[in-house]
Structure 1
Amino acid sequence: MSDWIDHAVWWQVYPLGFVGAEREALPAGTPPVHRLGQLQAWLDYLLELGCSGLALGPVFASGSHGYDTVDHFRVDPRLGDDGDLDALIGACRERGIRVLLDGVFNHVGRDFEVFRRAEAGDPDARRWFRWHGDEPEVFEGHGLLVALDHGEPAVQEHVGAVMRHWLGRGVDGWRLDAAYQVPHAFWRAVLPGVRDAFPDAWFVGEVIHGDYAAAVAESGLDSVTQYELWKAIWSALNDRNFWELAHAVERHSAMLASFVPLTFLGNHDVTRIASRLDRPEHLGHALAVLLTLGGVPTVYAGDEQAFTGVKEEHEFGDDAVRPPFPADPGGLAPFGAPTRELHQRLIGLRRRHLPGLAHARTTVVHLTNTTIALRSTGPDVALVTLLSTDDEPQHFPDALHGPVLTGSHGEDGDDGEDALLVPPHGWRILGG
């Protein structure tokens, strides 16, 4: 794996929602609708935000939401065709933007060609899937998502071929959807051949619970999604219980001994951070944690504009967190500007301390229910993040002194005020 990932900050997009595509696949024979190119108008915005990579949700032909894939080698006609994806990748390359694709390899849609053959009685096709009698096993109760048999060599060969195909078209890595459902042995079988052809590629698995470090070690993946830290950030802020965050930060720091996790405050599967936090002024706290800890951070498109949206547990319950975007950044509402500027400020601070901050270890150096201080240290970097959810000003211990780099009131440099006196519900980052 190349060290380019140590400099990465992803901007994640759910393409079908972003471009306002239809909910269901286009009728057979309908010409492609060339929408994917709309993303090119947002690439300079991505860079101005401070990000360096575009993490795309599903772009392959599917029946509905993109995770019911019917053809891994074809762009969804609601987005366009191969030429549209090639053009987007080319535009990213011109700007030095890395591209991550979403690979759904745990399950497929019922219109997947091999599954149709399996239903028709083809014994070779039937071996691609897991069965309960005559009924296929499905993913987490979703009847339209049929589970692949990951012990079948033909499935392993297919997934490896898909990965190599799109890496050969210029993408830089893969997010592996529902990796927590896939046996580690499957990735161990597939990834070496892909890495032989593309040694600089990066592979991150979607893992929600469990032993993250063991999942990486046993699967051969480079990284997994850090849901534990995500939950602790917003939960600790809402509950005014920084003990929860302290526990998660200590576990997170230990993980960095073996791999660099993918960190985030939001994605296409969860309620947006602006809707999740009880107090809007705590967004800066959450961002300060995300961007001063080790890891590979991701910003879910729209979170930097204070988009709201609650995920609901019913059909199309993700729609609120996967809305269409305007044709270009000029169509954004002005209310999002302060949140965007906050992201720019904190991402900019992080980028000035890369690559060392990607591998930084963090220790909890002060802790109460409503205050916490985190010291992150790595090669050529030392930062102290002070957070308070208290209703009164809080003075942090004198031993934590350092120049003010930024904070909840936009502080920049030592202005003569007490750097350790944090205002109510405020935050501050000091040079360590």
Structure 2
Amino acid sequence: MDCAIFYHIYPLGLLGADRSNNFTAAPVNRFSELHIWLEHMVDLGCNALYIGPVFESSTHGYDTRDYYKVDRRLGDDTALIAFVEKAHELGIQVVLDGVFNHVGRDFFAFKDLQEWGKHSKYTEWFSNVNFRKRSPLKDPFTYDTWAGHYELVKLNLANKEVRDYLFGAVKKWIDTYKIDGLRLDTADVLDFDFMKELALFCKRENPNFWLMGEVVHGDYNRWVNPFMLDSVTNYDYHTPIYESFNLKDFGKISETVEEDFGPKGVYKNRALYSFVDNHDVDRAASSLKKPEHLFPLYLLLFTLPGIPAIYYGSEWGFEGRKSLHSDELLRPSVKRNDLGKLAKHPKLLGAIKQFIVARKSSEALVKGSYQTLLVTGQYYAFSRKSDNKTVVVVVNASNRSARIHIPFKEPSAMVLTDLLSPEYSLTSDKTGLYVEVPPCWGRILCH
């Protein structure tokens, strides 16, 4: 997966599923509507899909009711199996959401606890159950939650019965659906021993199984190491990359990348999951002050170190901001055939395709080292190097064409060609490079 280019789908939103589940209703096979999206991913150049949540839940998917059953609003086992088979036929690996920190209040063990109280055999399945107090939802007991949300009941992952139950579900997902990996929801608050045991379990089932954790803050090396996860969400990029454009200060992102992936970078040997938006944060088009900056923004996503991911719809410039009480505007229902009419920035799709082609053609962009070459308010240049390959990336965020001097010095003259416009090439000299860059665009110069 280190070489993957991800597409990210939040299926309950994309497919227009009912917000609340009706547990007496028959399954509705909405997975079949996603097959056309798989073809779009191939056309775009993506070879991996992160999709979720997909298992039975009460509302938004993260309040799980049954880990062993596909959410009836999306389909059933047969529908999910067919979807993953189609993805694999097209060369797309599939990563599902694994929501292990908490469950919804409709989860069978919590319903039993509500009914039987202290006499329930599941009292130890949940974290810090206290029968001396009442919950805000009027249960005759309190319990730990995720972030104070009492609809999300925290599991006791130190309990062997809980682990066995969850690992049994994961085994079904691997054996029945043939998935290739999991994204661990709220991994930053998951029990570390649980994640280590989960990693061992998954690697025994499939040595190539990929585990990525949702981690916002902290030292990512605590999660990404030989004993636990393969990757985590790289939120280090998220604020600085937007500040770089909105504040006209590329020092914001360059300092972060240098600290993370430079010669002394703390994550320079890690492949972290990179993104500019997702189902939890504002859309890229709503985060930039100038919409024309979408083009250099995505150029950076595909040239900086990391495993890049595109959130569905953002390749057309979809807008959306989260509100105080809802993420609904980040997770819209979309019909694939309507996208031409809905596209806010119709030229962005073609540009992203170019960036993906460039990335795939260069090992240096996928696995190469990183070094900052130039940082100003609106210009940013860096190199990526692998064995015998060198790429120099230059970004111009201004609204004018610019001739930018890059202090790129090599022992001998080097001819570099722009992967985005192959007719453009230049030769380095003792003073470096003088690069002509169009407004709100960049060069990916390859030797």
Aligned residue number for residue 105 of structure 1: 100
1:388 aligns with 2:399: no
Aligned residue number for residue 246 of structure 1: 254
Aligned residue number for residue 138 of structure 1: 145
Distance 1:236 1:402, change over 3 A: farther
Aligned residue number for residue 397 of structure 1: 405
The structure with the largest alpha-carbon Rg is: 2
Moved more, 185-194 or 58-67: 185-194
Give the aligned residue type for 1:177: D
Is the Cα contact below 8 Å between 1:386 and 1:429 reproduced in 2?
Answer: yes
2:435 to 412, 415, 420: 420
Distance 1:425 1:93, change over 3 A: closer
Identify unmatched segments of 5+ residues in structure 2.
131-140, 409-413, 428-432
Distance 1:364 1:92, change over 3 A: same
Task: Give the deviation of 1:367 after TM superposition.
Answer: 1.5
Aligned residue number for residue 70 of structure 1: 65
Distance 1:218 1:31, change over 3 A: same
1:6 aligns with 2:17: no
Give the aligned residue type for 2:331: R
Aligned residue number for residue 23 of structure 1: 19
Give the aligned residue type for 2:357: G
User: C-alpha distance in 2, partners of 1:299/1:327?
Assistant: 16
User: C-alpha distance in 2, partners of 1:260/1:415?
Assistant: 30
User: C-alpha distance in 2, partners of 1:77/1:336?
Assistant: 34
Deviations, residues 190-216 of structure 1 (Å, cap 9, x unaligned): 221221111110000000011112222
Q: Trace 1:261-340 onto structure 2 (pairs within 5 A).
A: 261-314=272-325, 317-328=326-337, 333=342, 335-340=344-349
Is the Cα contact below 8 Å between 2:365 and 2:391 reproduced in 1?
Answer: no
- Root mean square deviation of aligned Cα: 2.2
Q: More helix by proportion, 1 or 2?
A: 1
1:181 aligns with 2:194: no
Distance 1:351 1:424, change over 3 A: closer
Give the aligned residue type for 2:405: P
Deviations, residues 244-299 of structure 1 (Å, cap 9, x unaligned): 11111113312444421011111111100011011111112111111112221111
Give the aligned residue type for 1:403: L
User: C-alpha distance in 2, partners of 1:338/1:391?
Assistant: 17
2:75 to 74, 80, 88: 80
Distance 1:391 1:47, change over 3 A: closer
Is the Cα contact below 8 Å between 1:237 and 1:389 reproduced in 2?
Answer: yes
Deviations, residues 85-119 of structure 1 (Å, cap 9, x unaligned): 01101111211111010010010001111111222
1:161 aligns with 2:184: no
User: C-alpha distance in 1, partners of 2:243/2:224?
Assistant: 26
Is the Cα contact below 8 Å between 2:416 and 2:426 reproduced in 1?
Answer: no
Task: Give the deviation of 1:391 after TM superposition.
Answer: 5.3
Identify unmatched segments of 5+ residues in structure 1.
none
Is the Cα contact below 8 Å between 1:228 and 1:248 reproduced in 2?
Answer: yes
Distance 1:392 1:18, change over 3 A: closer
Q: Give secondary structure in 2 for the equivalent of 1:124.
A: coil
Is the Cα contact below 8 Å between 1:260 and 1:358 reproduced in 2?
Answer: no
User: C-alpha distance in 1, partners of 2:200/2:343?
Assistant: 48
Task: Give the deviation of 1:335 after TM superposition.
Answer: 5.0
Deviations, residues 129-185 of structure 1 (Å, cap 9, x unaligned): 112522111111211000011211122222222222111121100000000011222
TM-score by length of 2: 0.89
User: C-alpha distance in 2, partners of 1:239/1:224?
Assistant: 27
- Using CA pairs below 8 Å that are at least 6 residues apart, which structure has the higher relative contact order? 1
Q: Give secondary structure in 2 for the equivalent of 1:337.
A: coil
2:50 to 30, 33, 55: 55
Give the aligned residue type for 1:272: R
Q: Give secondary structure in 2 for the equivalent of 1:364.
A: strand
Moved more, 159-168 or 421-430: 421-430
TM-score by length of 1: 0.92
Distance 1:380 1:84, change over 3 A: farther
User: C-alpha distance in 1, partners of 2:402/2:142?
Assistant: 61
Q: Give secondary structure in 2 for the equivalent of 1:403.
A: strand
Q: Give secondary structure in 1 for the equivalent of 2:56.
A: strand
Is the Cα contact below 8 Å between 1:326 and 1:332 reproduced in 2?
Answer: no
